[in-house]
Structure 1
Amino acid sequence: MLNEQKAVGHGLEEALPDVMMRVVSELHDVAYLIERIEPMLNELGEGVVANTADHIKVLQGIDLAVQKTRGLAEFIDTVTAAIPQSWLVDVSIALNLVKLADMQRSLASGLRHGHSQPLTDDAGDFEAF
């Protein structure tokens, strides 16, 4: 993806479709992270509360959250295809509102290497924030 940027005033203008596709990428990452929760809850609930209505509602809620997140990503992806590359937007103020540094970098540059929580990390590893 070509990342066309143009300095204007105090901010940096970029092609709106490029920015929107970075949002799509983040939404797919969120869906992936949510989806990883479900098997863990199944393991925790085995034999204890696995068949309770509340447990089933939580699992259904997780599944719905994944479907909605992926649905939003696909919607934005499809709408973005109709946006001319010449439409520019200044993302500097919006980026300042994003509190997660990795997400801020990803949305700012479009450079990302894998998911925000790769499966290759050893269990127990964490990043203090």
Structure 2
Amino acid sequence: MSVMSVQSPACLEEKLPEVLTRIVAELYDVAYLIERVEPQLLDLGTTSVIGSPDSMKVLQGIDLAVQKTRGLAEFIDTLAGTIPEHWTVDVSTALALVKLADMHRALSAGMIQPAAVPLAKAAGDLDFF
């Protein structure tokens, strides 16, 4: 029986305000993507969605998810603006836990955050896990 040693990722110190700014950008992307789902659901259900109390609760939940995501982004963005630039944090362990490759790249140092991927483009992508 062999025992594999788990190596911890190399220490990757980054400025905390910059890391938080990248998290904010990801949260805004999430809000945008969630927001884009709502009209699609309305198109699928036509008028029956609006007439169903359960469907309306789902749509309200989607709206609430968008509001909460944007609220978290604004909260973190405000905090990031108050943190001294010289404060650093080791992001190596946290980055190792991010499984989505695009998100991993976006949260890594030096990434310029593009706008969220349009649903038409994202619809052709498929990841099996």
TM-score, reference length from structure 2: 0.84
Verify the 8 A CA contact 1:32 1:66 in the aligned structure 2. Answer: yes
Q: Which runs of 5+ in 2 are unaligned?
A: 1-8
Q: Does the Cα contact within 8 Å between 1:35 and 1:63 map onto a contact in 2?
A: yes
Equivalent residue letter for 1:51: G
Residues 27 and 14 of structure 1: CA distance in aligned 2, closer, same or farther (over 3 Å): same
Distance 1:105 1:33 in 2: 18
Q: Secondary structure at the match of 2:82?
A: coil
Count of residues in correspondence between the two structures:
120
What corresponds to 1:66 in structure 2? 66
Q: Which amino acid aligns with 1:118?
A: P
TM-score by length of 1: 0.84
Q: Decide which structure has greater helix share.
A: 2
| Alignment pair present for 1:126 and 2:125 | yes
Which stretch of the first structure deviates more once superposed, 44-53 or 71-80? 44-53
Give the superposition deviation at 1:50. Answer: 2.7
CA drift at 1:120:
6.5
Q: Which residue of 1 aligns with 2:3?
A: none
Deviations 1:72-103 (A, max 9, x none): 00000001111000001000000000010110
Which residue matches 1:57? 57
Give unpaired runs (5+ residues) of structure 1: 1-8
Pair 1:49–1:10, CA change in 2 (3 A):
closer
Report deviation, 1:126: 1.8
- Alignment match, 1:86: 86
Alignment partner, residue 12 of structure 2: 12
Which structure has more relative contact order (CA 8 Å, sep 6+)? It is 2
CA gap of 1:100–1:28, structure 2 versus 1, over 3 A, is same
Q: Is the 8 A contact 2:29 2:116 kept in 1?
A: yes
Equivalent position of 1:114 in the other structure:
114
One-letter code aligned to 2:13: E
Q: Percent identity?
A: 58
State the SS of the aligned residue for 2:108.
Answer: helix
